[in-house]
Amino acid sequence: MDAFCVLHVDDDENIRALTALAFTLTGGGEVRSAASGSEALEVLATGCRPDLILLDVMMPDMDGPAVLTRVRALPAHRNTPVVFMTAQTQDHEIAGLMALGAAGVVIKPFDPMTLGQQVRALLDEHGR
């Protein structure tokens, strides 16, 4: 399994730490973290080229769908797979996120031992 880079965007510090730990435990992935949509856009503006963006849906100031819209406006990230992370589990909610162009949805709470595998599978589906 080749190494990959993930940009994880979540306003909850504990979830950011758990996600970073999940990738450390399972190997293969490097995680860059951002505490807000604005911070994520700043990270991307520095030239960061993640293989995938893990994006929390519910955040203050700029929610996940708004961040996705802004990411898609950046030529270098127009095709970067974006996976939403959410506690919303109803089929219509997940379908709505997928309709926005998400590559997938990870349900919170997630299993730290399988998160890396989930992300790798999504990357493989998108030919990365």
pTM of this structure? 0.92
What three-state secondary structure class fits 125? helix
Domain boundary assignment for the chain: 4-112
In this prediction, residue 88 has a pLDDT band, given cuts at 50, 70 and 90, of: confident
- What is the rounded average pLDDT of the residues 70-92? 93
DSSP of 57-119: S--SSS-HHHHHHHHHTSGGGTT--EEEEES--SHHHHHHHHHTT-SEEEESS--TTTHHHHH
CATH superfamily entry for domain 4-112: Response regulator (3.40.50.2300)
- The string of pLDDT tens digits covering residues 7-54 is 999 999 999 999 998 888 876 678 999 999 999 999 999 998 999 999
Cα 128 from Cα 37, distance rounded (Å)? 24
Maximum pairwise Cα distance, the chain: 37
Distance of CA 79 to the CA centre of its chain: 13
